[in-house]
Structure 1
């Protein structure tokens, strides 16, 4: 029963993470590119303030619940859950090391003005955004595959692995 609850939490948090990043990649980024630079900078800066806690919380919950699921299972389920946890961690690291520093610069630009090479920097932000989105979707896919397996992850740690 505990495995099913952890599996549900991993699916929920990772699905929410992939959905939020997917929405941003499919809708926000093209909108950012279609509006005047000043509007983009000011909206982007405010959006990142709002997203900070919720998105990092979703990334942490996704990574922790997937890792917990990996510890609770064996064989292929362990590998799938562990892979999902690593991909969720990757989305967090890409965000913290790639997007967040650029977000800080964007916040400064919104209050002052963008430098001449702003387009190159914004392109880097978008590349990081697509990378973290891909990692989140891949994590969600691994958890879906795990859930669809015959019996899913619903077996005790001492049960034989379900590799077939």
Structure 2
């Protein structure tokens, strides 16, 4: 029962993470690119204030629950959960080392002005965003696969 609850937590946290990153990649980034630069910079800076808390919490919950699940299981389940946990960690590292420094620059640009090479820097931010989205979605798919391969619990079997 403890493993199934942990698996549920890992699925929830990783699904929220993948969904948030996926929504951002599919909807926010194209919107960022469709509006004037000053509007994008202002909105991006404000959005990152909220994302700093919620996304780091989701990444931590996804990573820790998946790695704990890996530690408590064996065989294929351990491999899938461990890989999902490492992918969650990869999402965190990509965010922390790639997106966050650029977010700091965007915050400065929102109150001053963007440099001449801003398009290249924003392109790199989008590249990091796509990579962390891919790692989060892949982690979620692995945990779904794990959940679908698990035999039903005693009380869940159909007669």
TM-score (structure 1 length as normaliser)? 0.92
The answer to whether structure 1 residue 58 and structure 2 residue 55 are counterparts is no
Relative to structure 1, the CA distance from residue 150 to residue 10 in structure 2 (aligned partners, 3 Å threshold; closer, same or farther) is closer
Match of 1:82 in 2: 82
Partner SS for 1:115? coil
TM-score (structure 2 length as normaliser)? 0.95
Residue-by-residue CA offset, 1:128-150 (whole Å, 9 max, x unaligned): 00000000000000000000004
**Matched residues in 2 for 1:51 and 1:117: separation?**
25
Residue-by-residue CA offset, 1:32-83 (whole Å, 9 max, x unaligned): 0000000000000000001101000000000000000001100000000000
| Equivalent residues, number | 153
CA shift, 1:151, in A, is 1.6
State the 4+ residue runs in structure 1 displaced beyond 6 angstroms. Answer: none
Which aligned pairs between 1:83-162 and structure 2 lie closer than 5 A? 83-151=83-151
Note the aligned Cα RMSD (angstroms).
0.9
Name the stretch that deviates more: 142-151 or 132-141: 142-151
Match of 1:44 in 2: 44
**Matched residues in 2 for 1:148 and 1:86: separation?**
20
**Matched residues in 1 for 2:86 and 2:7: separation?**
16
The answer to whether structure 1 residue 27 and structure 2 residue 27 are counterparts is yes
Residue-by-residue CA offset, 1:4-57 (whole Å, 9 max, x unaligned): 110000000000000000000000000000000000000000000011010000
